[in-house]
Chain A
Amino acid sequence: MTINQSGWKPSSPVQGATDTGTVTGNRALMLEEALIFEIGDSDTTGVDIDAPAQRDSGLGNVLRSAPIGLPGLTEPETVRHYTRLSRQNYAIDLGLFPLGSCTMKHNPRLNEKIARLPGFADIHPLAPRETISGALELINTLAFWLIDLTGMHGVAMSPKAGAHGELCGILCIRAALEARGDPRSVVLVPESAHGTNPATAAFAGYKVENIPANDAGRVDLDALKTRLGPDVAAVMITNPNTCGLFEPDMRAISDAVHAAGAFVYCDGANFNAIVGKVRPGDLGIDAMHINLHKTFSTPHGGGGPGSGPVVLSEALSPFGPLPYTAKTADGVVHLVEEEQAGAFSAEHFGGKLQSFGRMTAFHGQMGMFTRALAYILSHGADGLKQVAEDAVLNANYILRSLEDVLDAPFAHSGPCMHEALFSDKGFADGISTLDLAKALIDEGFHPMTMYFPLVVHGAMLIEPTETESKAALDQFITALRSVAERCRAGDDSLKSAPVYAPRRRLDETLAARKPVVAWREPVPAAAEAPTPSEVGDR
């Protein structure tokens, strides 16, 4: 087999052109694109920079002498390179993106415009207080609504992502326990929780123990109660959970945990299913992170940035991180850093402020705060409630429309929340969830979350979100129904899917076995053992 190793290059027509029928490897509007290291060079630049007056720097032996090895492109080449690459991506702007627990919804462009206002985007984190009053007011206003929507007591705004927020919540719990002279060693995590939860608890120095799920996909309350004891610091629960189900015993769980002297951490990644309908504070939760990018819609940007403010109960609020904003009776919003913490402690926490310190250098994700507040104000009280209702309605529509062709392990136990869970039961031998997912790509849809949650074999977790129309859902259902039927029938052609994507199935094992994670000048093939760059030569 011959390959196109270097992508499109005028000087090197692709030898394996029979694969696609074109000499370039391009397919009509879909263009191959080489790496910047292959098309740029160190003498080319896309910026015009004023020449400085010459003068000795005095920097002597730390002055750079060796080349850096950074390729440059002119502006038109740069625009074309990244535009071509962009076209090899699936995105929510192109269609339904049903990743369960990831919450891919429409990103309003107003929010992008707001976040780019110079008064928000072009201010420095250490700017003097009198030049940033609007920014502090914005953070404080968003903080107020997050507290109000969740029925909690305080909020830590600075965590940079959901998992960072989990860490923040666990650190608050640990600080609170230590403050009362009761350090504990174990965190309990139900099977239906997000994978980051046990990682977070372990990272914060706790021993992690699993709590099983019951037949209905919920936390086994009796198993939890049995395990609770004086060594348990916290229970980390995801609600709605990763099976897409609400934990109906949440209040009983919280009461049992509190009675044992421990705290309840809730993974709030799925808050969009209940926003405006249920306040987690009313269910006895002590700490919950809110993925602003999920519930309040900030773009995921191909993997981030996220933002993970953590709402806190009265018991945990004094322990949250610095810096934070606080509004005094005169209506002024203050930025409370290490220096002022003592004074504000007296006013806001009865002198009990015991912040565990900083999570990050500055104030968190201002760019996400602006987008989230714009989203909250756009939807308003009525709209946010409708968000949760439409998200749940859309998920249940998918669940009921497909349960005759896909096994839905928990459909018997009632409606799902914002996401529908299916399993691979009923697929022909040798056909996997992965095959279904890759075939769905050829049908023009991004696949759902696969093999998660772990409690279901060959899991498929579908979250349509509230920004899908009925027509879009029906198209998706038609496509998935057809692929599911092929899976049940054992259609072998599924194994070669996708065939219409920019790449066919990629060899992930090779990538991990022989990692090539940075570009290097090609070396003669005989010089060393094959790397992925060279494998195609033989």
Chain B
Amino acid sequence: MRYLPLSDTDRTDMLATIGAGSVDELFRDVPEEARLDGPIRGLPMHASELSVERQLTALARKNVPASDAPFFLGCGAYKHHIPASVDHLIQRGEFLTAYTPYQPEIAQGTLQVLFEFQSQVARLYGCEVANASMYDGSTAMWEAIGMAGRITRRNLAIIHEGVHPHYVAVARTMAKFTGTSLADRAPQLSADMQIDTLLADIEANSPSCVVVQYPDILGRVTDLQPIADAAHAKGALLIAVVTEPVALGLLKSPGEMGADIVVGEGQSIGVGLNFGGPYVGLFACREKHIRQMPGRIAGETIDADGKRGFVLTLSTREQHIRREKATSNICTNSGLCALAFSIHMTLLGEKGLRQLAELNHARARVAADKLAAIPGVRLVNDLFFNEFTLELSVEARPAVHRMVERGVLGGVSLGRLYPDEAQLANGLVVAVTETATDEDIDALVQALTEAVK
């Protein structure tokens, strides 16, 4: 057993020091009838590195990685190129195998990274402050709704139709148990984002917050300022959700357009697809609300010599101090993914992020133009970043599988995301990033042409 350093001699010597006759004596508080006699049945005995690698590699080979096919899936998780140095650096043992920086004097590496990460996120989102990351975008959105409830002392959240349905599902789960009400609608398969309906909903109620995704689940983009103004006029906060952070290299930030809390998924920058996790939730807000912000926060201070240093701060909001009075029960962050995000963002810098965003948008435009020319395919929204929606002449779910038969992962069907909404069944959401080549786009055009026949 290669991971266990004690030898049998060590064990015997240590038992003698302890004054125990056997290891079982150390388990004497466990009632006899609850103890297992012998190893767990069914589970094989320990296995060599070669053997385990062989077994799990065989499982991995049953999947089709995004890099092995023309690939156009988005809807909350995006395939981007990650520079090699990102994974190299996060695998340094001092980052990879460190713990929560509870002893700041010997955790300055992690703490400075978190401070830099917070600064990057705040600027990207156009906010004053950010936290040290959340589990993912969906849980970050729920926490933002909870935070808006604490600030406004109201319990109705109005959710725009364009918010990711799984994010809404998470909010619905939590709302059931916390007395929060949610008002949400399914989207229309249309370029019209029904903003007038949203403004009317805000006007007719006194919500704690209004939640808008930017760009939204269909890839549509709208100016958030009128929504922010309407929300503020009713004493509500505007929460903006960003599932594709690369978009903010090209688009105005939500903070700039009046959002009070901006949350989202950071996976696009530095973190792989990973079948849904681990991801990295981003969370930023106005400085005046910092004490209601959930999650960990790194802050600047000085040490006994007057040197600048960093610590975890404002922890009086947290569970280990306040127990049942804590602002949330979150105990961890997504530290290593935040590190990956921060390294990738440092490599990009402002210049690289803008170029990457422009390239994403340009690739998507090329694809959208070609796809819209296919008979039986209509481009739903002409205003988008790197993701847009097509209305097919056939149901999109079977079309996706027909494209797989032709070796193309051609998009996410709205029927999968909204199984109960018949009017969305022909909708296909296509994401095109910098990784899509001309050949990939041509393969998609070919596969979709055949799939809608």
Contact = CB atoms under 8 A, between A and B. Distances in A.
A336 interface: no
Contact of B47 (A122, A148, A380, A472): A380
Contacts of A322: 169
Contact of B273 (A93, A121, A358): A121
A119 B332 contact: no
Interface residues of A, number: 217
A123 B64 contact: yes
Nearest to B76: A361
Interface in B288-311: 290, 296-311
B186 interface: no
Contacts of A278: 30, 34-36
Contacts of A33: 112
Contacts of B98: 89-92, 300-302
A55 B368 CA distance: 14
Contact of B136 (A36, A361, A379): A361
A276 B42 CA distance: 12
B183 to A, nearest CB: 17
Given A55-B365, A123-B63, A373-B56, A128 B401 contact: yes
Nearest to A97: B99
B39 A385 contact: yes
A251 B97 contact: no
Given A86-B94, A117-B60, A47 B347 contact: yes
A248 interface: yes
A187 to B, nearest CB: 9
A19 interface: yes
A126 B30 contact: no
Given A89-B109, A119-B62, A303-B100, A378 B346 contact: no
B64 to A, nearest CB: 4
A455 interface: no
B46 A379 contact: yes
B4 interface: yes
B401 to A, nearest CB: 6
Given A118-B67, A251-B34, A532-B301, A51 B101 contact: no
B206 interface: no
B272 A121 contact: yes
Contact of B349 (A40, A90, A360, A415): A40
Interface stretch (A3-11, A255-263, A425-433, A486-494): A3-11
B393 interface: no
B308 A7 contact: yes
Contacts of B100: 102, 300, 302-304
A518 B119 CA distance: 4
B316 interface: yes
A301 B56 CA distance: 23
B325 A367 contact: no
Contacts of B3: 106, 108, 378-379, 383, 467
A106 B96 CA distance: 11
A59 B136 CA distance: 28
A529 to B, nearest CB: 14
Contact of B59 (A138, A361, A470, A532): A138
Contacts of B356: 47, 49
Contact of B112 (A88, A108, A303, A357): A88
Contact of B43 (A78, A135, A145): A145
Interface string B78-111: 0100010101111111111111111111111110
Interface in B43-81: 43-47, 49, 52-53, 55-68, 71, 73, 75-77, 79
A438 B103 CA distance: 8
Contact of A504 (B58, B105, B348): B105
Interface stretch (A309-317, A344-352, A386-394): A386-394
B46 A518 contact: no
Nearest to A304: B332
A71 interface: yes
Contact of A199 (B105, B164, B223, B326): B326
Given A49-B355, A57-B361, A75-B347, A148 B40 contact: yes
Most buried by B among A124, A135, A279, A357: A124
Contacts of A386: 1, 4
Contacts of B105: 438, 441, 498, 501-506
Interface in A291-335: 299-307, 321-322
A78 B250 contact: no
A92 B280 CA distance: 23
A35 B300 CA distance: 12
Contacts of A532: 299-302, 308
Contacts of B257: 62
B119 A519 contact: yes
A376 B44 CA distance: 10
B355 A511 contact: no
Given A68-B253, A396-B20, A469 B10 contact: yes
B273 A123 contact: yes
Given A59-B221, A510-B302, A199 B353 contact: no
A442 to B, nearest CB: 10
A29 interface: no
Contact of A163 (B28, B314, B332, B409): B332
Given A55-B362, A386-B1, A397 B336 contact: no
A81 B223 contact: no
B124 interface: yes
A230 interface: no
Most buried by B among A16, A68, A366, A501: A68
Which 8 pairs show the lowest CB-CB distances between chains A and B?
A72-B349, A362-B276, A301-B336, A119-B60, A134-B62, A93-B93, A52-B362, A125-B276
15 contacts: A68-B253, A70-B124, A72-B350, A75-B83, A123-B274, A124-B77, A133-B63, A277-B36, A304-B133, A321-B173, A358-B138, A393-B14, A396-B18, A503-B105, A516-B300
Given A110-B49, A130-B404, 6 more contacts: A127-B64, A251-B31, A302-B107, A303-B335, A365-B278, A504-B303
